[in-house]
Structure formats: C-alpha cells, structure tokens
Chains A and B, each alone.
Chain A
Amino acid sequence: MKAAPFDYVVADSVEGAVEALADHAGDAALLAGGQTLVPLLALRMAMPGVLIDINRIDGLAGIARSGGATRIGATTRQNTILHDPLVARHVPALARATGFVGHHQTRNRGTIGGSLGLAEPAAEYPATALALGARIEARSPSATREIAIEDYFLGPYTTALDMDEMITAAIFPDWPEDTIHIVHEVARRPGDFALVGLVAAFAVEGGVFTRAGIGWFGMGPTPMKSARAEAALIGQPAATVDLAGIARLAIEDTDPMSDIHADAAYRRTVGARIFERIVGDAIGQRKAA
C-alpha cells in the first residue's frame, strides 16, 4: 500500500526538531531510520500529519565514552553499533543483540533511538536497555533530562517521553570487567520478531553473584524485567545456584501474550528453559576458563 499524505520537514538541529514536535502537538512523528515507521505508514497503521526527519542533524549520531558509561547518539545506525569497537568492549550485550535486529539491509538505516522511541515490546534494543540499566537522554523545548529505564516503558509503543520530547542518546553504564553477557532469542526465521527473547548480564566476584540484570522481549506488553530473580541471585554462589528455581522466578515477572505465533504458556516454558540452559552454559564456560 501507499502511505496516506503527510507533510515532511527536515530538522537541522535538536532544538528545531523538538520545536517542530511542539508546533504540531500530537500530529507529528520523528523520522529516524524509518525501518519500522515507514512500514507502519505504508500499512496506514500510522497516519501522522507531519514527519520530522532527524537524519540530517549534526552530532546526533555517534558513540562515545563518558563518565564510566557508553553514550550512543539517537541516530546511530544499527550496523554501526554492530561493528563498533567501543560497544564490543563496553556493552557486548548490545553488540550481540544487534545481530538479531532485522536484516543487514534494515540495519544500515535503522537507529537505536528509533527502536527505543518506538518501544516495540518484541524488539531487541528496549529489552537490552532494560537489562543493562541504561538511561534515556531526552530533550524538549524547555529541558534536557535523563530517564531511568525502569520508568521509561509504559506500555506497547508507549513511553515516558512527552509529546514535544525526543531521544538524543541512550547511555549504557559500565558493568564490571568480566560480566557474563547473554543474548538469546527464539524466532521462526532470522530477522523475525522473537517469540521469546532474553538479554541478561551477571557480575560474579569471588564466585558469588554481585549484580544481575535480566530483560525479556516478546514476553509482555513492554520489555520485561525480572527484578525478583535479579535480587534473588545476589550473594548466591555461581557454582551451586539453583538455576531452575531462578528461571521460574524470572518467568513469573513476565506477562506474555498468546497470538498466532505462540501461546503464552509456550512462551513461558521456552523462556524458562532457555534461561536455565543458556545461563547455565555461560556460567559453566566461565568456570572452565
């Protein structure tokens, strides 16, 4: 299908983009990579009156280190993230998650800000940001703020961003040097949305878990965080932890839907199984190393 008519404006600065958002309150959409928005336009599932193209804003793309964190600009392309040495070193889970995002051709356009702004519950980046405790840097005409990721996802495609606010960067704080990073998804075909997806990070010191981040995608109306399982792991010895029990606890904090692709019980079963198996393998490899 063809998109319904809309107006198009190019923003040449972040200030200009958020002013345009404010001017067209509620009737505008930001165009970043367009790899999800343009299909939504073509299917007429989205019919904004105005598209504000942020691709030409200088300095909005880029990856940098600052204050014990890795800051990734909103229009940084997914394929840039996939091959970036800073991301590989400091945010390996994000690099690995990127390999599951769409296809090579869509990753050449798709951006991290676009994915986080859209907040598709089955997408890789939102769950990765949630698992790793990222912060969302956002700008409105009147203020710049950072939003804690736990406060950011409100529902399917719904975030804490105000109507006149845009993401300028995602900030991933460092985890300890030898953190175990896990990204795994079960999908029918490569590049499809996951039926069940898991992103996790586990810091282990002196043989016990000292920090844990567990995020799921495709497992609820938003990316889901297993806060109780994270807390339960702290202080547990990695060698003898009851992973099956932790997996059950982790799944209790998800809320998967039944749809044509898989029912909720199946997603829960698969989620618990991959958690136990993949986390178990990763801990086993660490012990063997």
Chain B
Amino acid sequence: MSSHAIETIVNGQSISAQVEARHTLADFLRGTAGCTGVHVGCEHGVCGACTVIVDGVAVRSCLMLAVQADGATVATAESLAAPDGTLHRVQQAMKDEYGLQCGFCTPGVVMTLAAITQGRSPDAEEIKDALSGHLCRCTGYQGMLKVAKRLGGEVQA
C-alpha cells in the first residue's frame, strides 16, 4: 500500500500531510484537518452528508481519495460563518426557514447550496435538483425547499 505526501488548502490553511492511498478525502478532512463538520454517513456516495467544495464545486468527499486533493483548495462547513459568528447567507436561510432537524445531513446540504449559489443565482428548480443529492432522514425537505426558494429568488453577490 503506497503512501503519499500531499499539500492542500483547507479552509484557507495550507496543510501538508502524508496519506495512505486508500484514505478518503472525508477521513482526511475529519482526522487530519480536524474538520468534523464533514459528516460521514454512508461512505459510498449515496447520502451526501460529506459534501464539501473542492476547487469551487460541490463533491462527495467520501468518493475522492485524499491523495487526489493534492494541490486542491477545499472548503468545509467550518469555513462559512464569519470569524465573529455571523452566519453565511445559506446558513442564515437554513436557520430562518427551519431547513434542519437533527443536523446530521446539514453540513453537506449547506455546502451544496453554498457552491451552487456562489456568484450566480440558480432558479429554484436547479436548487431542488441539487438537493436531490442529499438524504435527510428527518424528512426535513420542506424547510430545505423554502431555503431553495429564498436563495433562488435572491441575486447573489
């Protein structure tokens, strides 16, 4: 089993690490980078809880190897709120519209919404399609759809 030196930027911090080939990006983010907001649900790409933003797009971090993130820029839910605690607009909308219940799936949902509303304004249908990549077992979708509607109607900075 091969081991690899990688260098990646996680939430603005440069991290150099030695990783086993089979180590997933999700496990690297949780274990090495300390970003436990990356939730690991199914570990085979079905549930969406581990979704993070890699080089600007939302991906499932359980379906990327850590070694593949060498040279990449990664953002997790930890990066969203401002240092003073001011919530990111997606987090604020999730809070206001009751877009979460138990919270397990929430970091993934928030990262998808943050990715697809970054610098553009997708319509509510496109947001709904992207939300279909997340499983919420609390049946919290109605609140998320309200979030989708609200974000879809906003012009993003």
Residues of A within 8 A of B (CB): 1-9, 31, 34-35, 38-39, 41-43, 51, 53, 55, 79, 102-106, 108-109, 189-191
| 18 pairs of residues in contact across A and B, judged by CB atoms under 8 Å | A1-B44, A6-B2, A6-B21, A7-B1, A7-B2, A31-B65, A35-B60, A38-B62, A38-B64, A42-B43, A42-B44, A55-B68, A102-B133, A104-B129, A104-B132, A105-B130, A105-B133, A191-B132
Tell me which residues across on chain A come within 8 A of B60, comparing CB atoms. Answer: 35, 105-106, 109
The answer to whether B43 and A108 have CB atoms under 8 Å apart is no
Among candidates A2, A79, A103, A109, residue contacting B48 with C-beta atoms closer than 8 Å: A103
The answer to whether B21 and A38 have CB atoms under 8 Å apart is no
A105 and B130 alpha carbons, distance in the complex (Å): 7
Among candidates B2, B68, B116, B133, residue contacting A191 with C-beta atoms closer than 8 Å: B133
A146 and B51 alpha carbons, distance in the complex (Å): 37
The answer to whether A104 and B43 have CB atoms under 8 Å apart is no
B58 within 8 A of A: yes
Tell me which residues across on chain A come within 8 A of B24, comparing CB atoms. Answer: 38, 42
Residues of B within 8 A of A (CB): 1-2, 4, 20-22, 24, 43-46, 48, 51, 57-60, 62-65, 67-68, 112, 116, 129-130, 132-133
A2 and B129 alpha carbons, distance in the complex (Å): 29
A34 and B43 alpha carbons, distance in the complex (Å): 13
Known contacts A1-B43, A38-B65; is A105 also within 8 Å of B21 by CB?
no
